A and B are shown apart, each in its own frame.
Chain A
Amino acid sequence: MAYGPKIIDHYENPRNVGNFGTSAETKNRKDIGVGLVGAPECGDVMQLQIKVNQQTGLIEDAKFKTFGCGSAIASSSLATEWLKGKNLDEASAIKNTQIVEELSLPPVKIHCSVLAEDAIRAALKDYKLKNGIAVPQEEHAH
């Protein structure tokens, strides 16, 4: 597949690879929200973690790990960049179409951006549930 320069840049120099601890550790941390979406047999799994400053309510850091193609890695790398510095409402407003546009994803790779949006929503939901914040109805859908 011939990819655009932004996908290749994010693939070759992925931003914010990592996590804030093992799955057992992050489960018990109230300032961390974890989203794990996709399935190995589908060929994509994204794990997105956000770290929220509980005083300011802003996402002060975000990390990802992705099993998937170049577009999936680039989409999740971009998502972590966009999440940093946003509050929860701003973060939940990120749409897959913006990722498609920014990376110039080819049509067959649009599902990678959808997965990244799902990962963002899943991480936000996890954080909200841990902190007793009401989860909007639409976020239950994911």
Chain B
Amino acid sequence: MTTPSTKPALKLDGIYMDHAATTPCDPRVVEAMLPYFTQNFGNPGSRNHSFGWKAEAGVDKAREQVAALIGADEKEIIFTSGATEGNNLAIKGAAYMYEKAPAGSQKRGHIITGTIEHKAVLDPCKRLQKEGFEVTFLSPPKDGVYTAEMIKAAMREDTILVSIMWANNEIGTINEIPEIGKLCHEHGAIFHVDGTQWVGKMPTNVERDNIDLLSFSGHKLYGPKGVGALYVRRRKPRVRLTSLFDGGGQERGFRSGTLNVTGIVGLGKACEIAMQEMDYDGQRLLALRQYMEAEVTKHLDSCEVNGHATKRLPHIANISFGFVEGEGLMMAIKDIACSSGSACTSASLEPSYVLKGLGVGDELAHSSLRLSMGRWTTKEEVDFAVKKIVEAVKKLRVMSPLYDMHKEGIDLSKVEWAHH
């Protein structure tokens, strides 16, 4: 049974289809936070007066709300500044705590991750590699879904940590998390999951799903920016981490620093709402996404929906529009906020490493749009977006020398291009 939504009205200034980047705060979240800026402003570490107690009560409640969303005990929740910190703490903290060298090796232990993880996982892994750990970066199959079989093939005697995201931020593909978790536990490896795009959108239970460490951010689930949580398993096995911040010993020593009380209260509220409404939101957004993909591909030839056909998050569509460049396309649909895998939209001038990693080819990576919908996205907005996209692609194809060549039957991969 789907619980009907009780969401309050929220009129955004423009059509926002970039919810995988960030979401607006739910007005109910803002309302819950407000008293903690003024009346309940105390430091939860102040144990001797009511200001501190009120703040602590707010944090305690939030901890219960967060734990309930993921099927954890509240003692297993560490508040962080967001998923980047959570990923760093989980990966580096576990690597430093569990490092072990196989007999005769100078290395510090083996870590498995994927090449299309978020940078906040890849870069900590690369740093550990420089520090003497061995890291296997597994390439994904063309559909983008990591299976337990793939992890099993990479597992070694000295594997201490496996870090795989639950769902990919660019293409929304869903990995085989419960199965990978089971495998890790059989091998005695710690299993970290970057759940940033998943938690709050899809049912989560750290026990059922065999997860040891789970990081996520408030601002992807209609909570505030600058706050997140890391789940750290306390039993079977009890996971320990080397902390990255030293100081006042907050969060059971895992994460020193005065708690971001307003943010934490907001995250808690966002988790409570997510628990009540994720079924409703998920079913509604899945129908909208399938409708959008079907409409776009019905009206345009040479379009490709990237990622696995069905194992994808309800709200993220990633589509390559052949022979049209992504940034140019975004300029033509400037009423619609979305993102592209095109190099021209990135600081590095490199096209999306995620799409390249899937073997989509640089050309189609340059031609991709990510449209990600959310709690307040309407069918009318989807219709408008489809109409604008179809018009823009047709207009840009009239301007595209590649589309002409394609129609003339020239194989673009056989042309000798003047690289620059």
Contact = CB atoms under 8 A, between A and B. Distances in A.
- Is chain B a partner of chain A in the same complex? yes
Given A3-B331, A36-B401, A67-B325, 14 more contacts: A14-B399, A22-B404, A37-B418, A38-B418, A41-B362, A42-B362, A42-B420, A43-B351, A44-B420, A45-B401, A45-B417, A67-B399, A69-B342, A108-B349
B377 to A, nearest CB: 25
A24 B205 CA distance: 62
A38 B399 contact: no
Nearest to B397: A67
A37 B325 CA distance: 15
Interface stretch (A53-61, A87-95, A111-119, A128-136): A111-119
Contacts of A17: 398-399
Interface size class of B (residues with CB under 8 A): 20 to 34
A67 B324 contact: yes
Nearest to A77: B399
A43 B420 contact: no
Nearest to B347: A108
Nearest to B344: A69
Residue from A19, A23, A43, A122 having most chain B Cβ neighbours under 10 A: A43
Contact of A41 (B323, B361, B401): B361
A39 B361 contact: no
A58 B398 CA distance: 27
A140 to B, nearest CB: 13
A85 interface: no
Contact of A37 (B324, B361, B403, B420): B420
Nearest to B323: A67
B402 interface: yes
Contacts of B208: none
Interface string A1-43: 1010000000100100101001110000000000011111111
Nearest to A40: B363
Interface in B341-399: 342-345, 349, 351, 361-363, 366, 398-399
A65 interface: yes
Contacts of B405: 23
B184 to A, nearest CB: 37
Nearest to A22: B408
Contacts of B349: 108
Given A68-B328, A69-B328, A73-B328, A41 B366 contact: yes
Contacts of A46: 401
Interface residues of A, number: 36
A72 interface: yes
A75 interface: no
Nearest to B331: A70
A67 B321 CA distance: 12
B419 interface: yes
Q: Which 4 residue pairs are nearest across A and B when measured between Cβ atoms?
A: A39-B417, A41-B362, A47-B401, A40-B363
A66 B420 contact: no
B420 A38 contact: yes
A68 B419 CA distance: 14
B150 to A, nearest CB: 27
B281 interface: no
* Max count, chain B CB within 10 A of own CB: residue among A22, A24, A115: A22
A43 B401 contact: no
Contacts of A111: 420
Contacts of B404: 19, 22-23, 65
Nearest to A3: B331
Contacts of B410: 23
A115 B419 CA distance: 10
B277 interface: no
A70 B402 CA distance: 16
Nearest to A111: B420
